[in-house]
Structures are given as C-alpha cells and as structure tokens.
Amino acid sequence: MSWTEVNNRYNDDKLIEGCSLFGMMNLSGERFSSRNPVRAIANMHERGNGLGGGFAVYGIYPEHREEYALHIMYLDRDAKKKTERLLKEDFHVNFDEEMPTREAKVKDPPILWRYFVQPRRRQLTKDDDYVMEKVMKINTQTGKAFVFSSGKDMGVFKGVGFPEDIAEYYCLEEYRGYMWTCHGRFPTNTPGWWGGAHPFSILDWSVVHNGEISSYGINRRHLEMYGYRCTMQTDTEVLAYTFDLLIRRHHLPIEVAAQIIAPPFWNEIDRQPPQRRRLLTALRQTYGSLLMNGPFSIIVAHQGEMIGLTDRIKLRPLSAGLKGDFLYLSSEESAISLISPHLDRIWRPKGGEPVVGRLGARGVKELLVRSEMQ
C-alpha cells in the first residue's frame, strides 16, 4: 500500500501531511550538479500529487554575479509587452532570454523569461529595496505577469508537476550551484498553479514549506505596511517576505527571527530568567503579527546560508544530516540516506530551534536558541 493510500484513504482533497522538502548545501562553496538534489526529492514522490514542484539554486549565474536575475512568468503576450516597458523604465537590462526548457510532464506552462538587470542610478533607496518595490509593482499592476525569482547569482525554477518533471522541464542538469532547496507540493488550501508552486522568493531569499499557515491574514496585513504584496495565492508567500523584513531590513539575527516566527508559549516565557523573559516578551509584543500559527517545517535559503526550522511543537517532520562539507535537510531521513548513506551525523532538530549552515563554516552550526539568547 502506498504512502498516499495510507494517509489519504478517503481521497480527501486536503492531505495536510503532504509536501516534501529537501535542502543540500556545500559549506565550502563548491558548486555541484542537480543530480543528487533531484534524486532525493524524487525519492519522496508520494508526498506530492503533481500540482507543484520546484527548486531554488544558489551560485548558478557567476557570469552575472553583480546583476539581479529576474525570472518572470507571463500568462499572455500582452503582459510581457507591458512588463518589459516597465523594466526598461526602471532598470538597465543587460541581457534577457526565454528560459531554456524542454518537453516534460508539466501542465499548461506559461511564457517564461529571464532578465539580468541593474537598477537605474537615479533612485534614492538602496538597491535591494528598489528591486523589491519594482517586483511588487510588476506583480500587482501588470495583471498577468509574476516575478518568481529576483536575487543575485541564484534562481528559482518551479511549476505544476512533480519536482523531477520540473527539473526535466527546466533542464536543471545543465546548472551547478553550491546550495539547492527542493519542494514537492500537495496543496492544502490553495490552488495548484505555476505561481503558487514552491519555492517562494524575494531578492535572494527563498522558502520551501510543508504545513499550513493559519495566521496568513494577519501576517499579510502586517507585511503590507512595509510594502510587500501577496499575489501568489498561497499562505507560504508570507514566510519569504517575513524573513526578508526581519533579517535584511530589521537586521535581526536568525535565532531572534526564529523566536518571532515560532516563539515559546506564554507559560514557557513566564518561567524564563528575568532578562530572557523581558526579551521574549518584547519580541511577542513588537512582532506578534508575524507569529506563524499552524504546523510547519521550512527550509529557508539566501546567499551563503541555509536554515531549517519547524513550528514550536514540531507538527511537521524535519531531519538534518552532515557529511564532510555537505549539510542536508529533509522531510524524510530516507532521502538523505539515499544520496549519502554514511553520514558523520544525523539528527532531528527540536521544534522552534533553527539549524543553520553557513558558507565557509566548514561544518554546521546548530543554533540552540535557548542557550545563545540568555
């Protein structure tokens, strides 16, 4: 009997245990092919249903390292024309092309184009803030155009299909990166469409997610105060924007951001030493609208760092493994063992405590929030 038959025996359209996550990072920065990441995520095939798959890859555009790589999906040609007029107004477009694809088992692909751009220098804001603002402008004003990747020297590749089919469609065997995050989706409450597949990304931040964000409404409203617009029709989008806001814009360390997204319960906070109790209370009072309510496990990536995190009582699975310079994060230990059967270490992180791999660290640093924030 298959995993799906065991966990969804009544053919319910909400299979909340579904979705598969996998992340693989070389901590010394050595770039590697898609072979092992694709094998690992394909090993969890039955956790999805073909309504979404995707990859975020870092270090793939060394020849365009100083340019923002915009991956854009268009639902029709008029949207492409309108968007390209906006791009020429706001950016120097140094190179653009249709994204290389091949025939594969994917459903109704949109027009996919990529642009390597630099902001025009008349702006007063920082480059990252300027690019974020223009991404939101395209996603909300053009109607049928969506920027699904906008970082430097990284790219998101996603769509409607199983992840191994998405890898085939985007010709991912031709790319090499030092970090790959992967997702196979079983949509819980949101439609399966190209923009709604994972990863979700803004600038060089990307997030893959298993679970459900039941606080999506209040999270979205809080983020809208800072200029973020949710247009991808799924709850996970708020996670990508939250990490960008807390870490890039508010300059908080990841261990503090984790305490905002997956904080201790109030009765746990009340039992903490005075200094730590004051800190955790201040975080809840200041950022209470960014608490992610509901079950989740996530892999978050940006340049030089891969982060694994679960909700505070760990209602979704996450395993971590280490072999030499490679850090692995996965929904299932079996996916890690498939590509690295003789690990130096394998463990299951505690709920609400992030595991962080940093480029150049020559190993993984497991950030134990409770000890480091005291």
Contact 283, 260 (CB under 8 A): yes
Q: Is 19 a catalytic residue?
A: yes
Q: Which residues contact 11 (CB under 8 A, 6 or more apart)?
A: none
Please give the single-letter amino acid code of residue 107.
K
**What backbone torsions phi and psi does residue 20 show, to the nearest 5 degrees?**
-125, 140
Q: Which residues contact 316 (CB under 8 A, 6 or more apart)?
A: 210, 211, 295, 296, 297, 310, 331
C-alpha closest to that of 69 among 112, 117, 134: 117
**What backbone torsions phi and psi does residue 154 show, to the nearest 5 degrees?**
-155, 165
Strands 145-149 and 68-74, bridge-based pairing? antiparallel
Contact 142, 128 (CB under 8 A): no
The CA R_g of the chain, rounded to the nearest whole Å, is 20
Strands, E assignment, 75-229: 91-98, 111-119, 145-149, 154-159, 179-184, 200-202, 205-211
Q: Choose the catalytic residue: 19, 171, 182, 230.
A: 19
d(CA 348, CA 141): 43
C-alpha closest to that of 307 among 18, 21, 17, 33: 21
Active site residues: 19
